[in-house]
A and B are shown apart, each in its own frame.
Chain A
Amino acid sequence: MKYIGKKLIALAITLLAISFVTFFAFTIIPGDAATSIMGMDASEEQLDALREELGLNDPLIVRYGRWVKGALMLDFGTSLQYKTDVAKLIGGRLTATLGLALEAILIILILSVPLGIISSKKPNGAVDNIITVLTQFGMAVPQFFLGIMLTYVFGILLRIVNMGGYVNPAESFDGFLRFLILPAITVAIPKLSMMTKYLRDCIVAQKKQDYVRTARAKGNSEGRILTHHVLKNAIIPSITFFAMIVADVLAGSIVCEQVFAIPGVGRLLTASISNRDFPVVSAIVLYVAVVVVVMNTLADVFYRVVDPRVK
């Protein structure tokens, strides 16, 4: 209980610091929401009137205080650009981002664990080398390139995947999932490669430990050693790593959402930054921060469950 209390306080401080930095950064960069809304042919008087209306003329501290007060009551204000409730605006885009994240996480899990185990079976053997080369490749290729190549090959050359615009899950859940397959693979490949490599290295390191030799001496089969001893120990550091990956994926993929034109949180974030739409940007930044902190905390908790020695 005390542990959770501590974590919550840490979370609150992190969020406060992050939101302040975001707020501050917005006052330094040139251009504001008023210039962005009024465009090229605005007069100074019009800009000023609009700034007054949007509350942009108040001092930084006043604006920040107002925003924190709202945020505490889960009111993130109204988008300056879209004139709609920020929570609603982001909520509408979370479906796409979460759908994409869940599919990607599933792919990462299903593939990385077996690949890591296979790869570690004979370190530096033929299979290990092939997998290592592939994971290196997966980590090195830029995501936008990967996305374009995948669509080109599967969507346009082979026509296995039906290309086309984003499908709203309310219209067709099936179509929604199918549309997200290629983007999910694109998001998954670099993470999957990292996870495979990490797991493989952990297993290989564990296999060199004394307790493995003892287990072998006692006549345990290799399979039994792996499942009963090695994996248990190898999985602990991997969990933290996996939590980081999940947080990263949940935070939305800016690049992938651009390439596949997915109306997710990442695209809203980039658009809102160029519109100088502060309420939207800060709310998204908060969301990302919360996801990262919560995932790390979950990993911590899970750690303790798996290994009671950790305190």
Chain B
Amino acid sequence: MKKHLLLIGILILSVLGGCANATDKNGGADSNEPTQGGSIVIGIPQDLDSLDPHIAKAAGTDEVLFNVFEGLVKPDQYGKVNPAVAESYSLSEDSMKYVFVLRDNVKFHNGDVVTTEDVVYSLRRCAGFEDALDPSVTVESAFSIIKDIYATDNKTVVVELTAPSTELIYYFTTAIIPKNYKNQATAPVGTGPYKFVSYTPLESFVVEKFQDYYGTKPYLDKVTFSIYANIDAAFLELMAGKIDLMSQLSSDQAAQLTSIYNVVYSNFNLVQALFLNNDFEPFKNPDVRKALCMAINRDEINQMISDGHGTIIGSGVFPGLSTIFAGDLVNYYKFDQAAAKKLLADAGYPDGFSFTITIPSSYDQHVATGEVIVEQLKKIGVTAKIELVEWSAWLSEVYSGRKYESTIIGLDANLAPGDVLKRYRSTAGNNFINFISEEFDVTYASALASQSDAEKAELYKKCQNILTENAASVYIQDPAQITVVKKGLGGYTPYPVYVMDISKLYYVK
């Protein structure tokens, strides 16, 4: 059965070319010519947390709003950023000043032309410069090094920094919105290929083709994002073929749908790990953490959870960030329960110990991973107990409160190379595992400041090395993203960031 599935998977991959590193432009579907028009339903397993792109925080919301909003630059499927609302940009020699030249005649969905005023307003809002700011607006912490944002003429916007940064460009993907428009939260207006039609909480989010889009026009006329409580709730409708595309399925679920859907395996672009609170007694000892790294069989987890389609990792970076990913760390800790047991005994725990793994109950994948880990740890005499909590409780108790022993979660990141690692700085507000390493802090700082791409990559790899050597946590995998795409639909393109690009989807002739 497994082999069979693998074969199907490979076949589909080769037909759709949907794999993240596929090079073909049109999803490899050469013989399947795209047609214009049509409408589809995409299932999403969570509601949107806000329609205002500067307020929305959930990855699941960004994924959808990606089609409505654009930044000065926009990410592509290869993990690069390309000019969007800006036609071009340049960075000063000392990396202290970005200059953006706006594209002519980019229109908002309400018909207004994008001006430098709108751009300056949008960036200032994200940087926390605007007065009377709505406190729920996400202030992009990376923008804290911005000194000033201003327009020099009606086409040019300048961003001055207080410290050099070559990586800030990745954050200019932040949405450009009209300055004098107050209804973003209920009727969003952006510049993307699709424009907002309607939103009904817990029911649907509908968009239609934006006729005045400056770039390549999308194929489909109308797309409905149908909101479900979870995959199970959508499953019957998937079986009935009422949903055209849906991600985040389990391999079992996908296997039941192959008669009407093609299954696409890609990466989730998450760092899934058993995160250990380095401040909790047994985990204070690096040897205990190392023992856990050796006692957990990541291949088995990958097989059980995603039928082997996940990608094993050995440190805090997912492989999608290919320029800095340290592949040699994947097998730093080899699965060896005898050695793990010995290490534990030497560390003063000959009879093992017990601890709790706190997992947000809404993530089936992490819960299942936890169950496998509990079984694996039994073999070295360590008793782990799973405690399921609601997402909201997880955020306040585990993530902000750091009142936990261990947890399983998948961390996502911006495409900027340093983003995924910045939480491990000793003073980082979101360093929820309490990892303290002076060496890491110094290395990270010099990586961020470095102007040479090669040196930067080296230093970030060293950062990962420090995490792995110290066994900061048990890094497991970048889980498999399993997507079902209705047969007859082409152009599905996975990204190395969490987006669903509907502008490339089409019905084949």
Contacts and interface: CB of A to CB of B under 8 A. Distances in A.
Interface in A39-75: 39-44, 46-47, 49-50, 52-53
Contacts of B228: 261
B390 A163 contact: no
A84 B396 contact: no
A46 B126 CA distance: 13
A267 B234 CA distance: 14
B454 interface: no
B45 to A, nearest CB: 11
A268 interface: yes
B393 A92 contact: no
Given A40-B430, A41-B430, A274-B391, A261 B242 contact: no
A138 to B, nearest CB: 21
Contacts of B237: 163-165, 261
A73 to B, nearest CB: 24
Contact of A261 (B141, B234, B239, B362): B234
Given A38-B136, A261-B228, A263-B202, A155 B141 contact: no
Contacts of A156: 236, 239-240
Interface string A22-47: 00000001111001111111111011
B485 to A, nearest CB: 18
Contacts of B41: 165
A81 interface: yes
Specify which of A148, A155, A267, A268 lies most central, judged by the most chain B CB atoms within 10 Å of its CB: A267
Question: Size class of A's contact patch?
Answer: 35 or more
Contact of A39 (B57, B234, B390): B57
Contacts of A275: 392
Nearest to B362: A274
A165 B394 CA distance: 32
A50 B229 CA distance: 27
Contacts of A136: none
Nearest to A92: B200
A84 B186 contact: yes
A174 to B, nearest CB: 18
Contacts of B134: 53
A165 B50 CA distance: 23
B338 interface: no
B229 A261 contact: yes
A40 B399 contact: yes
A156 B260 CA distance: 13
A165 B240 CA distance: 10
Contacts, number: 117
A164 B240 contact: yes
Given A41-B57, A261-B234, A82 B240 contact: no
Given A41-B141, A165-B41, A30 B136 contact: no
Interface residues of B, number: 42
Contacts of A37: 49-50, 57, 136
B395 interface: yes
A276 interface: yes
A163 B202 contact: no
Interface in A234-259: 258-259
Contacts of A271: 47, 202, 229
Contacts of A261: 228-229, 233-234, 237
A212 B389 CA distance: 59
Interface in A273-296: 274-276
B224 to A, nearest CB: 9
Contacts of B148: none
B386 to A, nearest CB: 17
Contacts of A163: 236-237, 239-240, 242
Contacts of B239: 152, 156, 163
A152 to B, nearest CB: 7
Contacts of A148: 236
B469 interface: no
A118 B307 CA distance: 54
B396 A35 contact: yes
Contact of B49 (A39, A165, A259): A39
Specify which of A260, A270, A271 lies most central, judged by the most chain B CB atoms within 10 Å of its CB: A271
Nearest to A30: B393
A273 to B, nearest CB: 8
Contacts of A89: 201
Contacts of A31: 390, 392-397
B253 to A, nearest CB: 13
Contacts of A267: 202, 229
B138 A41 contact: yes
Interface in B127-168: 134-136, 138-139, 141
Given A165-B237, A271-B202, 12 more contacts: A30-B397, A39-B49, A44-B400, A83-B186, A84-B201, A152-B239, A163-B236, A166-B203, A261-B237, A268-B201, A270-B229, A274-B392
Interface of B: 41, 47, 49-50, 57-58, 134-136, 138-139, 141, 185-186, 200-203, 226, 228-229, 233-234, 236-237, 239-240, 242, 362, 389-397, 399-400, 429-430
Closest 5 CB pairs of A and B: A31-B392, A39-B57, A163-B240, A49-B135, A30-B393
Interface of A: 29-32, 35-44, 46-47, 49-50, 52-53, 81-84, 89, 92-93, 148, 151-152, 155-156, 163-166, 258-261, 263, 267-268, 270-271, 274-276
